[in-house]
Amino acid sequence: MAITDTQTRTDAEAPAPVEKERLRRLLAAGERPAPPSAFASARAFAWRSMLKIKHVPEQLSDILIFPIMMLLMFTYLFGGAIAGGTGDYLQFLLPGIMVMSIVMTTMYTGMSVNIDIHKGVSDRFRTLPIWRAAPMVGYLLADVFRYAAAGAIMFGTGMVMGYRPDGGADGVLLGVALLLVFCFSFSWLWTWLGLITRSEKTVMSISMSILFPLTFLSNVMVDPSTMPGWLQPVVENTPISQLVDGVRGLFDGTADSGAIVTTLIWSAGFILVFGTLTVRAYNRR
């Protein structure tokens, strides 16, 4: 009797047989949801990167401390020697040091990409039915927030120190917009490096070896006319110098259309070249 009761309970608890064909027809009868658009996918990954900042706010230390430190140090240590006074030098320096500080923070994009790849997170992303470049674009969109925050903090500090933009609010907003467009485009270089290098330390070392000469060999801190004659055309035509001329002109109310157009051309070139290389490297991994 005990055996019979056990068999009865087992038979009652056993799952009912499934008719595969019937189940397939039921599933096929429903309308499939539309796949997410490219913008929706990139926005989702951008929000994912923003949540990282929410849970690890220490990531913002580079945009909270570094820009202010750079502005204070160069203004009060070198202002008197270079321009004869900190006030005049601050008017010249702030747009350039803003460009320098924000451009140097772009390398963290490549480090984030490299970390996700070696943790296996990117392998999961590639299995999703989404636009393949969405994770990369998401990184960059989230970093635009970092760049804007760093710019706002540095500009606010400069205003407290005595900086006054002759271009008004419109000039400042246009200058910051030009800077954000360039940084978004320039960051594609670091996403590509993050994909092809073996560790985040390698990404950092290569990034610094590129960024230091590129930012210091520019018109960020001094006028190129004070440099040797053979060096002036080199400094004046680097992408950072053109960006500084564009931002500085917009801030001062003397917009340099040539520098602005050249900066936009450089930005388009970075996206075209390194965006293509990034997508190819991402698909091949």
Location of structure tokens 């990954």: 45
pLDDT at 115: 85
C-alpha distance across the termini of the chain, in Å: 62
Length in residues, the chain:
285
- 3-class secondary structure per residue, 23-59: HHHHHHHCCCCCCCCHHHHHHHHHHHHHHHHHHCHHH
pLDDT at site 51 = 81
Provide the whole-model pTM: 0.82
What sign does the dihedral 214-76-91-145 (CA atoms) show?
positive
pLDDT tens-digit series, residues 217-227: 899 988 898 88
Q: Which of 30-44, 85-99, 132-146, 203-217 has the lowest mean pLDDT?
A: 30-44
Q: Distance between CA atoms of 62 and 25, rounded to whole angstroms?
A: 56
Q: Quick one: tokens of 274?
A: 């390194």
Question: Residue 10: pLDDT above 60?
Answer: no
- For the beta carbon of residue 277, count every other beta carbon within 10 angstroms: 17
Cα distance between residue 84 and residue 87, in whole Å: 9
Q: How confident is the model at residue 87 (pLDDT cuts 50, 70, 90)?
A: confident
pLDDT at 259 exceeding the cut of 90: yes
Question: Which whole number is the average pLDDT over 265-276?
Answer: 95
> What's the rounded mean pLDDT across residues 48-55?
78
**Confidence (pLDDT) at 17:** 58
Average pLDDT, the chain: 84
Burial class (CB in 10 A: 0-12, 13-18, 19+), 170: exposed
Task: Give residue 98's pLDDT band: very low, low, confident or very high (50, 70, 90).
Answer: very high
Residue 63 and residue 152 in contact, taking contact as beta carbons nearer than 8 Å: no
Read off the pLDDT band of 137 (50, 70, 90).
confident
DSSP secondary structure string, 56-79?
-GGGGHHHHTHHHHHHHHHHHHHH
Percent of the chain with pLDDT over 90: 35
Tokens 């992303």, residue located: 125
For residues 265 and 180, is the Cβ–Cβ distance under 8 A? no
Beta-carbon count within 10 A of 181 CB: 17
The stretch 169-180 carries a mean pLDDT of 94
pLDDT exceeds cutoff 80 at 153 = yes
128-136 mean pLDDT: 82
CA dihedral of residues 97, 99, 104, 106 (deg, nearest 10): 150
